[in-house]
Structure 1
Amino acid sequence: MESLTKGLKLRKSGLKPIQITPTNQDGGDMIASGEEQPLSPASRLYHEPTFNVYIIAIMGWKNPINPSVVYEKLPQTLLKHPRFSSLQVVDEKDGGKMKWVPTNVNLKNHIIIPHIPQTTLNSPDNFLQDYIYNLTKTSIDSSKPMWDLHLLNLRTSDAESIGIFRIHHSLGDGTSLMSLLLACTRQTSDPDAVPTVPTKKEYSDRSGWFSSDRLIVGIGRWWQRWLMVACMSLLLVWNTVVDVGYLMATGLFLEDTETPIKAPAGVERNPKRFVYRTVSLDDMKLIKNAMNSTINDVALGITQAGLSLYLNRRYGEEKNNKGGTEKNNNLPKTKIRLRSTLLVNIRPSSGIQALADMMEKNTEAQWGNWVGHVILPFSIGIRDDPLDYVREAKATIRRKKHSLEAIVSFSLAGLVLKLFGVKAANTISHKAAARTTLGFSNLVGPVEEISFFGHALEFLAPCCYGHPHGLMINFQSYVNKMTIVLSVDESSVPDPQKLLDDFEASLKLIKEAVYAKGLVKEEGKLQEAAFT
């Protein structure tokens, strides 16, 4: 072990070499106990200065937090995962490759309980916002496992206390990390049961039309079936070629339109302000059912509508400042190219139960940072019919489902990294992301109320910072709620609460349009019909 210690050093960050202490904790995710493992290509990219991304998960609890319980329970759960009890170091004897090396974890270095001044009691929500904002100015010392947990016994407008998990993105992709976090929780109605997360229909069929038997039901002849499969295969190939070409063009030269929310170069180094708003998931389900769509379609439709309202107001304000006249539609006459970089987990998650078993029973569970890049276009404009936002979103997502863009982009990134190294792969990935306007994601959460070490959860609000965008939007469901979380650069989005207002107003407009067009009966009429 002494020779290993001498051969391992921190990545070039000016810190002193680490002294590695092996542990006997089981890897749990197919990592042998006490053995070093190489970082995946994606994890290595997250250590580059322009792609140094952290995930922040804000947890609101219904009761005050008891730090002693957290200290007691974390070693029995989270620390049993090898990524949370390992260092990321450079092995100079192996060509400078980064590896995971198990170590002992001192929880005092990871659990932070800040002092909360009495003066904050009049504005606890602002204190929380400022606390997270200041947190995004910092990074985690890589001489320890790269995560921390901040516990705030702070009563806000929507919770009795707050927990802030900060995790470096190199530890895993967003889906895996959220699944692991939820695997540490239990249902409030059954303390022995892990949360139930519904399988999203739109992602259960990763091959698109190929596994949709209904498309060939009624076609009796084999040659007609063969023709159908051939056409769908050609369409899949065509969509993939077009999407990958579009992605490569974005990495080389294709920029989004310079809108008020398009951030300048270097925005990834700026601190980010986190804000969130909880809306009704039942309202989104009502729209989903009325329009025969998915929650993803509705979330993207709300986002397109909200961004359109927000940009329309920002352009109107610019006209006023220049002495012009604000109109109902202040958007440019030319089409706005506004796109999101969407990170897609190309390997299905192990699931909450598998991760819970890994921590409790030392079983195996798959893990990794296997993500591909997808360029997701947004349709910006003032629509006469609010339902058009959802229809356009549905068409966009359906088109993206029938493409292998994520898989091909992941493979190409790995090939570039292998042939030309981390710097080249980072440059290409960073440019492709920086030439888009925002980041977007939608995570599905538990369908029942859960508790974290006995603390009942009120809401969950994850997002990230360190990305090359001025705006990151994340939708997170929990029971009958949907929390919209924004991570913003204030020079690009100086009024994020107004943007949340626009998202909330867009949901209301779309819901009212569903009623107005008779796609569903109004709630009052449904209640009246139930008693007649």
Structure 2
Amino acid sequence: MEIKTLRRRHGNIANITVEKKEEEDEQPLSPAARLFHAPEFNCYIISVIGLKNKIKPDEIIQGIKQTLIKHPRFSSKLVNSGSNNRQEQKWVRTNVVAEDHVIIPKFETQDIENANADAFLESYVSDLTTTPLNTSKPLWEVHLLDLKTSDAENVAILKIHHSVGDGMSLMSLVLACTRKTSNPDEFPSLPYQNQSSSGSSRLMPGSVGDSRLLWLLMALWSAIMVVLNTVCDALEFIATTLFLKDTSTPIKGDFRLRKCKRMCLVHRTVSFDDIKLIKNAMKMTVNDVILGVSQAGLSQYLKRRYGEKKKKTVDQEESIPKEIRLRAAVLVNIRPTTGIQDLADMMTKGSKCRWGNWIGYIVFPVSIALHNDPLDHIRRAKSIIDRKKNSLEAALTFIVGKMIIKSLGVQRAANILHRALSNTTMTFSNLVGPMEEISFYGHPVTYMAPSVYGHPHALTMHFQSYMNKMTISLSVDPTVISDPHRLCDDWEESLRSIKAAVQKRGSTQ
């Protein structure tokens, strides 16, 4: 009797152990990850990394074995189970062969002779957007190109399905695989972002009682403004989903008529010191300056496009139609702060670091106009950003999105979000990078140019800082925007004109 009881207990322990192992080896997809696998949002993240030295594939493969494939998402494949009506999607741990995910293409000399190396790289990356990843393996690839371009000796390309994680977590994970070139044992350090003092913290002189009363009144007023702004933003998002469409412009694609599945990805590197100079002189944030310069660049680009269109019909001066409604879906990270060390721990001993897609959206109205004073562009951007900061729009879109997926299902949620985004014009994103030079598995990095494709926008603008540089990455539908380099030229020229206006303003003062 005692032996049977003992066996029964051991059997229960064994069952618990097996169940626990199955829970660790199998995890259901999060609502956001399921959304990214819907036909309307088969999204991928591509990051082009310029390297200072010639690639040594063996070193990179060995480094991936020691880091990346130890991460749960990079060692799990997507498995669909159940019927069509109740299909379940889950991540299942699998044995990963790093060599199966590292692609080293061989180029014909004639291919590069017929086009310069930069154009060849753009064509190669564009080709990657036409082929999906193999779902029988974990959803990521690393391409190593022995190709010397104008700004790098060789190039590495990371292609990852968006369901694996959001841009912030994936970029942090990539940085966790890098080290400082000045100290190979240290992780990169990101700039500390000081939060500027808000008006509520600067109290007027007076008694303690007066200060407390003033503080309470300001806190109450701030709370009222947050509620009002959130309600207004929620109503605008609902209206956008139902009927409120952006103006049809030369940069707005119509995905109902879109037949081309190829996207074109280009990048341009500018001085981050110029951006910081404007930021400090105007007492703004980096995001204020980037959005302001983007507004100026888009205005110049649209001026040219409308001018070219009019010249084909009537010989008129270049002009932009008045009252253009052009809005961007700005991606906002709402996850708790995740350090590089936390993500490195996930690849070694595991941690409580939250992984997945924790992103919300803000609908940002882009001001398209030709101002006499170029600084008006960044003043306009700052005023909108300041109002958006006093709103819970990003958190609301994240929470409501999860609720819609759980209540209506992935397909209906995808249709709703697809309709809302299709009624806007573009996507905008920005990531903060290391302040010092880093190495990617022993290879010093010259630039990082991440971008995303698969969502219903013909234009995505992404900004990545690194050392004293800022890289602008454009992902465009070539049937809508056939000249993305001209848009980069306009952005760069707008940065120069705004910098010159700031310097002139400073010398005058």
Cα distance between partner residues in 2 of 1:32 and 1:275: 43
Shift of 1:223: 3.0
Shift of 1:95: 3.9
**CA deviations over 1:329-365 (Å, ceiling 9, x no partner):** x101x21111111221211341212112332344442
**CA deviations over 1:162-201 (Å, ceiling 9, x no partner):** 0110000000111000000011000000000000111334
Secondary structure in structure 2 of the residue aligned to 1:304: helix
Cα distance between partner residues in 2 of 1:457 and 1:36: 35
Normalising by structure 1, we get a TM-score of 0.87
**CA deviations over 1:310-344 (Å, ceiling 9, x no partner):** 000000001100122233xx101x21111111221
1:223 aligns with 2:223: no
Shift of 1:66: 0.8
**Structure 1 residues 249 and 69 mapped into 2: Cα distance closer, same or farther (>3 Å)?**
same
Counterpart pick for 1:258 among 232, 238, 248: 248
Contact 1:433–1:468 (CA under 8 A) maintained in structure 2 = yes
1:154 aligns with 2:141: no
Amino acid at match of 2:81: D
Contact 2:45–2:162 (CA under 8 A) maintained in structure 1 = yes
**Structure 1 residues 33 and 520 mapped into 2: Cα distance closer, same or farther (>3 Å)?**
farther
Secondary structure in structure 1 of the residue aligned to 2:395: helix
Shift of 1:33: 7.6
Higher deviation after alignment, 88-97 or 177-186: 88-97
**Structure 1 residues 195 and 69 mapped into 2: Cα distance closer, same or farther (>3 Å)?**
same
Cα distance between partner residues in 1 of 2:439 and 2:23: 30
Cα distance between partner residues in 1 of 2:379 and 2:234: 24
1:141 aligns with 2:97: no
2:499 corresponds to which residue?
A: 511
Unaligned runs of 5+ in 2: 1-19
**Structure 1 residues 193 and 520 mapped into 2: Cα distance closer, same or farther (>3 Å)?**
farther
2:313 corresponds to which residue?
A: 322
1:51 corresponds to which residue?
A: 41
2:335 corresponds to which residue?
A: 347
Cα distance between partner residues in 2 of 1:113 and 1:450: 23
**CA deviations over 1:140-174 (Å, ceiling 9, x no partner):** 01111111011001001110100110000000111
**Structure 1 residues 90 and 300 mapped into 2: Cα distance closer, same or farther (>3 Å)?**
same
Cα distance between partner residues in 1 of 2:21 and 2:118: 41
Amino acid at match of 1:331: I
**CA deviations over 1:444-480 (Å, ceiling 9, x no partner):** 1000000001000010000011111110001100000
Secondary structure in structure 2 of the residue aligned to 1:459: strand
Contact 2:260–2:479 (CA under 8 A) maintained in structure 1 = no
Shift of 1:287: 0.2
Higher deviation after alignment, 447-456 or 423-432: 423-432
Alignment coverage as a number of residue pairs: 483
Contact 2:51–2:443 (CA under 8 A) maintained in structure 1 = yes
Cα distance between partner residues in 2 of 1:484 and 1:268: 27
Cα distance between partner residues in 1 of 2:505 and 2:385: 24
Normalising by structure 2, we get a TM-score of 0.91
Secondary structure in structure 2 of the residue aligned to 1:353: helix
2:298 corresponds to which residue?
A: 307
1:129 aligns with 2:116: no
2:97 corresponds to which residue?
A: 106
Contact 1:317–1:326 (CA under 8 A) maintained in structure 2 = no
Cα distance between partner residues in 1 of 2:102 and 2:448: 19
1:403 aligns with 2:391: yes
Cα distance between partner residues in 2 of 1:150 and 1:315: 39
2:27 corresponds to which residue?
A: 37
1:177 corresponds to which residue?
A: 170
Secondary structure in structure 2 of the residue aligned to 1:285: helix
1:338 aligns with 2:331: no
**Structure 1 residues 115 and 442 mapped into 2: Cα distance closer, same or farther (>3 Å)?**
same
**Structure 1 residues 508 and 363 mapped into 2: Cα distance closer, same or farther (>3 Å)?**
same
2:3 corresponds to which residue?
A: none
Secondary structure in structure 2 of the residue aligned to 1:508: helix
Amino acid at match of 1:403: S
1:246 aligns with 2:236: yes
1:367 aligns with 2:349: no
Higher deviation after alignment, 115-124 or 282-291: 115-124
Secondary structure in structure 1 of the residue aligned to 2:69: helix
**Structure 1 residues 269 and 433 mapped into 2: Cα distance closer, same or farther (>3 Å)?**
farther
Shift of 1:108: 2.9
After superposition, where does 1:267-278 map in structure 2 within 5 Å? 267=258, 270-278=261-269
2:370 corresponds to which residue?
A: 382
1:425 aligns with 2:418: no
**Structure 1 residues 396 and 473 mapped into 2: Cα distance closer, same or farther (>3 Å)?**
same
Aligned sequence identity (%): 49
Higher deviation after alignment, 307-316 or 216-225: 216-225
Cα distance between partner residues in 1 of 2:308 and 2:40: 32
Cα distance between partner residues in 1 of 2:482 and 2:362: 27
1:468 corresponds to which residue?
A: 456
Cα distance between partner residues in 2 of 1:217 and 1:450: 46
Secondary structure in structure 2 of the residue aligned to 1:165: strand
Cα distance between partner residues in 1 of 2:22 and 2:47: 29
1:115 corresponds to which residue?
A: 106
1:69 aligns with 2:62: no
Contact 1:514–1:520 (CA under 8 A) maintained in structure 2 = no
Amino acid at match of 1:430: H
Secondary structure in structure 2 of the residue aligned to 1:484: strand
Cα distance between partner residues in 2 of 1:505 and 1:268: 33
**CA deviations over 1:67-118 (Å, ceiling 9, x no partner):** 1111111111111110000012223289422111101112232111111111
Cα distance between partner residues in 2 of 1:31 and 1:385: 63
Shift of 1:520: 8.8
Shift of 1:32: 8.5
**CA deviations over 1:23-44 (Å, ceiling 9, x no partner):** xxxxxxx999843111111111
Shift of 1:443: 0.7
Counterpart pick for 1:214 among 193, 201, 215: 201
Secondary structure in structure 2 of the residue aligned to 1:360: coil
Contact 2:200–2:218 (CA under 8 A) maintained in structure 1 = no
- Cα RMSD of the aligned pairs, angstroms, is 2.0
1:482 corresponds to which residue?
A: 470
Cα distance between partner residues in 2 of 1:117 and 1:326: 47
Secondary structure in structure 1 of the residue aligned to 2:385: helix
Cα distance between partner residues in 1 of 2:220 and 2:66: 52
